[in-house]
């Protein structure tokens, strides 16, 4: 929410930490008082977190089911209003239709709560319009209310290169399926987020999971690797402080 005149009163020795949109992050960094006093600023902004389904998965198998369940949870918990929520759903191109259908079926039984304000609802709808030229709608849920702060769960699918999918974080119950052709493209697409808080990888192939850890770690704060042996014990993609679980 708005900070009022708070930044007008910062002084040398203060520190500012901010998590949210890149636009607001820049407003904090370049605030005249912040620049004049040299206040230390730490910003985590627009995290385009990805979940990756391994190329070994098949429609309807256990790994496929774990993956779909996690995406649905991250889209709907807190109406998708988490800095760690899944925004990009990276899947083998041959499974894109099956993944879209499975997520859509699961979302059909979910009603999400409101966004934090009508202004945030308007921001989500504006961002959806921004992506409309490079995505298609796979599933669009009915809002839980006609109030402007409600947005139904929405699953998109990227068409072609879709650059804005990797640049615009929609802070609500929205995710985009991004098909990949091979392993190298999967990791390259994940890195197009420009550095994210978390990436999760679902696979039964130990070699693929090990490669994911190596390839994704430099661009992500946390990499979660999930196979059947830990699926019921893993922290979940979007847990903000996984180290607090014992």
Residues labelled as active-site residues: 44, 83
Q: Give the number of other Cβ atoms within 10 Å of residue 203's Cβ.
A: 23
84/70 Cα distance (integer angstroms): 13
- In angstroms, the CA 57 to CA 166 distance is 24
As a whole number of angstroms, the distance between CA 200 and CA 67 comes to 9
> What's 88-103 look like in SS3?
EEEEEHHHHHHHHHHH
Beta bridge partners of 158: 135
Q: Which tokens in the block code for residue 191?
A: 């890195």
Pseudo-torsion of CA 222, 225, 231, 237, nearest 10°? 30
Q: Are 223 and 198 in contact (CB under 8 A)?
A: yes
Between the CA atoms of 177, 209, 171 and 93, what dihedral angle is there, to the nearest 10 degrees? Answer: -10
Asked whether the CA dihedral 57, 59, 63, 66 is positive or negative, the reply is positive
Alpha helices by DSSP H, the chain? 22-29, 32-37, 62-76, 96-107, 118-131, 183-191, 206-216
> Would you say 91 and 99 are in contact if contact means Cβ atoms under 8 Å apart?
yes
């Amino acid at each position: 929410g708005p900070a009022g005149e708070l930044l007008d009163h910062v002084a040398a020795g203060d520190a500012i930490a901010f998590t949210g949109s890149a636009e607001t992050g820049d407003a904090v960094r370049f605030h005249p008082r912040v620049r004049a006093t040299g206040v230390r600023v730490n910003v985590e902004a627009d995290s385009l977190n990805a979940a990756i389904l391994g190329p070994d998965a098949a429609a309807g198998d256990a790994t496929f089911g774990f993956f779909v369940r996690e995406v649905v949870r991250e889209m709907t918990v807190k109406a998708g209003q988490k800095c760690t929520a899944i925004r990009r759903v990276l899947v083998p191109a041959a499974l894109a239709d099956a993944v879209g259908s499975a997520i859509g079926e699961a979302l059909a039984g979910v009603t999400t709560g409101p966004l934090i304000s009508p202004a945030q609802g308007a921001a989500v709808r504006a961002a959806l319009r921004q992506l409309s030229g490079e995505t298609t709608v796979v599933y669009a849920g009915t809002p839980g209310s006609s109030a402007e702060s409600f947005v139904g769960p929405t699953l998109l699918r990227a068409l072609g290169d879709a650059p804005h999918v990797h640049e615009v974080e929609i802070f609500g119950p929205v995710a985009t399926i991004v098909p990949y052709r091979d392993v190298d493209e999967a990791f390259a697409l994940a890195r197009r987020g420009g550095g994210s808080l978390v990436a999760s990888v679902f696979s039964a192939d130990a070699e693929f999971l090990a490669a994911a850890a190596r390839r994704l770690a430099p661009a992500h704060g946390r990499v979660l690797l999930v196979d059947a042996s830990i699926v019921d014990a893993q922290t979940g993609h979007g847990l903000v402080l996984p180290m607090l679980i014992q």
